[in-house]
Amino acid sequence: MKDAPRGVAVMREYNVAVLGATGAVGREMVKILEERNFPVKNLIPLASARSAGTAIGFHGESVTVREVSPASFAGVDIVLGAAPNKLAREYAPHITAAGAVFVDNSSAFRMEADVPLVIPEINPEDAARHHGIISNPNCSTIVTLVAVNAIGKLSPIRSMTVSTYQAVSGAGAGGPVELEAEIAAISAGERYEPSVFPYQIAYNLIPQIGDFMENGYTAEEMKMQNEGRKILHLPELRVGCTCVRVPVVRSHSISVSLITERQVSPDEARAAVAAAPGCRLVDDPAGKKYPMPLDTSDQDLVFVGRIRQDIANENGLSLWCCGDQVRKGAATNTVQIAELLIQ
């Protein structure tokens, strides 16, 4: 390569590995690295032996997927994790020992005290305090907190009551396949035995995501409080959450009622949300305009609307938000964290 002309800065390029590159989130990470022109010198897609040898497209070229092993991370600068908790924990020591930074989408390290949990629109400064691992929050946590963060800047949030309506693709690639198969079977008058979800999801709702805990909440529901406290730096934040699986293919929808220290008017909240990074205000009830999952799929903004005074609490507001859980709720947020590392 020729030397750059004197006085012209040369952008550094990075060797980037994607752990779990052939899954839905991993493939989206590769796509978003290309979309956002991340300075990739070499892309190293890693997956299981079953997927090794397949190809992934990147900037018009075909890149061969490699079987992951402890030696896979030599010379790698950044690893984007799209693998299950077990694999994330297995390979994290090898990643950090190789000198790479592991930006992990699993829940394996989220609540560890020395691992930053980052939403770049909210707490980008936390990323600099990493010790080799940075965690990406849960998808519903990301969508919810991006929506309410601007309101919290007007007055600190004391508590939230949240109901999530989570798309079937949040359960992995098998979720949409099962939904479509069930619809086809029902239309043909045939029986279909579900395997991805505990019950039929077509024409149905399932009010359980994750295992139930002793307090009656599921593990998924507790993430909203535990992760919210860490990201917002509000250790006393209280969140009551109900997570529901719905027969929607993509994008999670979330109902939020929040209580702030002082009363925030709906107009104040709308203005703050409209100006907030990562948000799009869609709030025109008279025109029947409000966030819907069809409108938020395959893009990175969180749509926020239905902002109104909570008539059950003087200092309360209620709102509705939607966001693509595969992109902003997972892959895009992970790439955005990686961008913080190279700034």
Across all residues in the chain, what is the average pLDDT?
96
Whether 5 shows a pLDDT value over 90: the answer reads no
pLDDT at residue 99, rounded to an integer: 98
Whether 8 shows a pLDDT value over 80: the answer reads no
Q: Where in the chain is the domain with CATH 3.30.360.10?
A: 141-325
Q: What is the mean pLDDT of residues 60-86?
A: 97
Q: What percent of the chain has pLDDT over 70?
A: 97
| DSSP secondary structure letter of residue 168 | G
Beta bridge partners of 31: none
Q: Which overall architecture, per CATH, does domain 141-325 show?
A: 2-Layer Sandwich (3.30)
For residue range 278-320, list pLDDT tens digits in order.
Answer: 999 999 999 999 999 999 999 999 999 999 999 999 999 999 9
**Domain covering 14-137+330-341, topology:** Rossmann fold (3.40.50)
What strands, in cross-sheet order, belong to the sheet with 133-135? 66-67, 40-47, 14-19, 78-81, 101-104, 133-135
Whether 186 shows a pLDDT value over 60: the answer reads yes
For residue range 43-71, list pLDDT tens digits in order.
Answer: 999 999 999 999 999 999 999 999 999 99
pLDDT at residue 158, rounded to an integer: 97
Whether 321 shows a pLDDT value over 70: the answer reads yes
Whether 198 shows a pLDDT value over 90: the answer reads yes
Cβ(285)–Cβ(266) under 8 Å? no
Helix (H) or strand (E) holding 103: strand 101-104
Catalytic annotation on 252?
yes
Confidence of residue 2 (pLDDT cuts 50, 70, 90): very low
**Which one of the listed residues 130, 139, 321, 322 is annotated catalytic?**
139
Q: Where in the chain is the domain with CATH 3.40.50.720?
A: 14-137+330-341
Whether 7 shows a pLDDT value over 90: the answer reads no
Cβ(22)–Cβ(324) under 8 Å? no
Pairing of strands 316-323, 252-260: antiparallel
**Which one of the listed residues 241, 252, 279, 322 is annotated catalytic?**
252
Confidence of residue 10 (pLDDT cuts 50, 70, 90): low
* CA atoms of 82 and 331, how far apart (whole Å): 8
317: three-class secondary structure by DSSP: strand
pLDDT at residue 11, rounded to an integer: 78
Comparison of pLDDT for 5 and 103, the residue scoring more: 103
pLDDT at residue 1, rounded to an integer: 34
Whether 179 shows a pLDDT value over 60: the answer reads yes
Instruction: Collect all residues with Cβ–Cβ distance below 8 Å to 26 and sequence separation of at least 6.
Output: 18, 19, 20, 45, 47, 80, 82, 83, 331
* CA atoms of 25 and 209, how far apart (whole Å): 19
